[in-house]
Chain A
Amino acid sequence: MATAISILPAQQLATLNDAYRKAVARKRLKATVATAVFCAALFIAALGAEVNLHTFFTYFGNFLSYFDRILTLDSGARVWTDPVEWFWGLKKWLRLLGETLLISYVGTLTGAVFAFALNFFAAQNTSPGPWVRFIVRRLLEFARTVPGIVFALIFVIAFGLGPMAGVLAIAIHTTGALGKLFAEIVENADMKPVEGIRSTGASWLSCMRFAILPQVSAGYASYALLRFEINVREASVMGFVGAGGIGQELVVAIRKFYYSDVSAILVTIIVTVFIMDISTGWLRGRLFGKETSR
């Protein structure tokens, strides 16, 4: 069968095959070396992280039975057989969830306002000077890289326990994240309107207001909504360090082994996050069309 369709002379075929084999072998060698390096890195990481497969397999049953336990009421019945008992603290939890949503809302809005004020200085095409740009960029980078909960830890000490620390922490982190995204939108904006407005003798401020802002405001709002969605999740854990919201209840329930409470609070958080995701997604689609709602 192999003789049937061979068009090339055997000698030429041999060189071609040889070249092919060499190319494949080189690729294989590369892949093997990369895999080996990666596996070595993993092995070192496993040593560093004190991975203990023995513990894992001994306790993995615990992980499964943990879910079994959080889905069981004190009376021994399954949680869904008695929703009233399961969600006994619903009123308190809903209030705390409302607080969580407010924290993320106020934090997102404050952060968005600061990001809005700073991003024109950080964008390459609109920044008034390279020095300003450099400083603002580093500032935003700092606000973005330090995790929100670390800010919360520090703010709890400065401002006292309570939701205020959480709001400020979220606001700072949001400023960093949104500032970068906003600046990227501005960098993609069309510069012709700016030239048009500057040619009428307008100041830098009017150039931003009348040339850039109309192009970018839809993108801003879309990113701010997306950030709000992320911040709802973030705010749900702010309570872990005492910065308000539902996290406080959750951490108490987990630490004190109030099993059915854990599952009830988790369910309310997940449902809230779902509702927020869906409604902000819907809002984004409504306001800005399919394109920006990615």
Chain B
Amino acid sequence: MSQMPRPDTAELRGKYPGVFERPASARLAMPAMVAAALAIFVYGLVDLDFSPTKLITGMSQLGWITMMMIPPNPGSSFPLYMQALGETLSIALLGTTLAALFALPVSLLAARNIIPSNLIRFPVRRFLDSIRGVDTLIWALVWINVVGLGPFAGVLAIMVSDFGAFGKLFSEAIEAADRKQVEGIRASGGNALHEIRFGLLPQVLPVIAGQVLYFIESNTRSATIIGIVGAGGIGLQLAEQIRVLEWQKVSFLILMILIAVAAIDFISSKLRFAIIGQRAVV
């Protein structure tokens, strides 16, 4: 075995000072960041009234609650809960579809390759951003004020909050579309509307369909919670049963939600693959 020549550490040190002695700022940056993060964390714990006694009593309470949840039992309200679950699924499906319908034309306005002018695009984008900045639950509260308690308010709430998300996602899908088809349509004498219909839409529709399906899936979750503020569906039942401390019914409802979400996940991922096929992974 041949011996490696010993590296001349002193010379190397002279040549590459940065490797041997990192500047103090680089060495201290990580510990300083960790210390700052911890400091804010501790301050947060103090400010938010955390105390070990509270935590322990709460934990034992939670233990009791969990014990009382077993076994899950709907009592005599099973048909009512099934109906509520159906209502939730309806809210998710309808809200998402309406949002997609409304968002499609608006997303065209927010896409750079369709509207090159910043003058229209910028306000449209900010408008969509502000809609997305408001949570679905807040929209639900607002709609309850307008159309009254019930699932219809939930549909409208999901519609409005998804409208913002879809507008952004669709416009990104449109911007990612290939220009060549559009140019081909223009070369054969099509007008702007033809370009969108025959050049862009065939490219973006599968992507959009995939996103809509994904949102129906995730909205099943959102739709379960908007009931908590009174906008219908299974969340309404859940919040009521929690308030009256019927823990066996609560655990049954949670189980129902879990199963429904898993089922919808399964169906929609199957459908997504069927629609987008293999090239889906963009």
In the assembled complex, B154 has its CB within 8 A of some CB on chain A: yes
Q: Is the CB of B254 within 8 A of A62?
A: no
Inter-chain contacts of B176 with A (CB < 8 A):
none
Closest 5 CB pairs of A and B: A48-B90, A159-B58, A45-B90, A158-B61, A106-B44
Residues of A within 8 A of B (CB): 41-42, 44-52, 55-56, 59-60, 62-63, 66, 99, 102-103, 105-106, 109, 142, 145-147, 149-150, 153-155, 157-160, 162-164, 167, 233-234, 236-237, 240-241, 244, 250-251, 254-255, 257, 266, 269-270, 273-274
Given the contacts A50-B152, A99-B48, A269 and B90 also touching, CB distance less than 8 Å: no
**Of A52, A244, A274, which one neighbours B48 at CB under 8 angstroms?**
A244
- Inter-chain contact B133/A42, CB cutoff 8 Å: no
Q: Determine whether the beta carbon of A153 is less than 8 Å from that of B133.
A: no
A113 → B minimal CB distance (Å):
10
- Cβ contact within 8 Å between B129 and A274: yes
Count A-B pairs with CB separation below 8 Å. Answer: 167
Q: Which residues of B contact A48 (CB under 8 A)?
A: 86-87, 89-90, 151
| A154 adjacent to B228 (CB under 8 Å) | no
A106 touches B41 (CB 8 A): yes
Q: Report the separation of the CA atoms of residues A56 and B160 in the bound assembly, to the nearest whole angstrom.
A: 14
Interface size on B, residues (CB 8 A): 63
CA of A244 to CA of B49 in the docked complex: distance in angstroms? 11
Q: Is B44 a contact partner of A105 (Cβ separation < 8 A)?
A: yes
> Main SS of the interface on chain A?
helix
Q: Which residues of chain B have a CB within 8 Å of any CB of chain A? A: 37, 40-41, 43-45, 47-50, 54-55, 58-59, 61-62, 65, 86-87, 89-91, 93-94, 97, 129-130, 133-135, 137-138, 141-143, 145-148, 150-152, 154-156, 221-222, 224-225, 228-229, 232, 235, 238-239, 242, 245, 250, 254, 257-258, 261-262
Instruction: Please indicate the chain B residues that have their CB under 8 angstroms from the CB of A63 in the complex.
Output: 142-143, 146
Q: How far is the CA of A36 from the CA of B228 in the complex (A)?
A: 33
